[in-house]
Amino acid sequence: MKNKRWFAVKTLYITRAVGKSSGKGKQAFAELLEERVVLFQAATPLAAVKAAEKDAKEYSQYTYTNFENQSVRTEYLKACDVFEIYESLDTGVEVFASTGVLTKKPSKNDLITRRLGKMETNSTIKMRKRFMSKELGSYI
C-alpha cells in the first residue's frame, strides 16, 4: 500500500422503524441518528471519501425486524467529513477532529449539547428498544 495514507471518515445515517407496531398504544415519533467514523487507507482524501461512501451504502442495506415486528431500515444521508491521520496508528492517536466557527458566545452546556447531544431520559432510552433486533433481545 505504497503512497497510501490513513483517513478517518465520518458518515451520517437515519434509522427508522417502518410498518405497524405490534406493541400496545400509540408510539411517539423516534428515529435514530447515527454518526460512524471509519478508517480507510487511500492515496487522497477524495479516494478515502469514495471508499467511505461505498462502505456507507453497504452498511445501510442491512434490514432487520425489531421487537414490535417492524422492519428497521437505515438510510445513508450522503454526508461525509474526512480527516487525514498524520501520525502512526497507536493508542491515544487522534482519529477524527472537527471544528466550527462560532458567531455567538454560547454557554459551555450549549456547546456540549451541540456536539454530544443531550443526556437521554428514561423514555428516550426505552425508545431505543425500537431499533433493537429480535435476535439481539434473546441475549438481554
pLDDT tens by residue, 92-136: 988 988 877 878 888 888 888 887 788 888 888 778 778 888 777
Is there a domain that residue 80 lies in? Answer: yes
Please state, in angstroms and rounded to a whole number, the distance separating the CA atoms of residues 73 and 94: 31
Which domain, by its residues, includes 58? Answer: 5-87+98-137
Q: Does the structure show a pLDDT above 60 at 5?
A: yes
pLDDT tens sequence across 58-101: 999 989 998 888 899 999 999 999 999 999 999 998 898 887 78
- Secondary structure (3-state) at 111: helix
The answer as to whether 107 is a domain residue is: yes
Q: Is 117 inside a domain boundary?
A: yes
What is the count of structural domains for the chain? 1
* DSSP letter assigned to residue 66: B
Residue at 13 is within a domain: yes
Q: Is residue 92 part of a domain?
A: no
Q: Does any domain span residue 132? A: yes
Q: So what's the pLDDT on residue 115?
A: 79
H/E run at residue 114 = helix 108-116
3-27: buried (b, 16+ CB within 10 Å) or exposed (e) per residue? eebbbbbbbbbebbbeeeeeeeeee
Q: Could you tell me which of 120, 113, 130, 117 has the C-alpha nearest to residue 30?
A: 130
Element (H, E) at 19: none
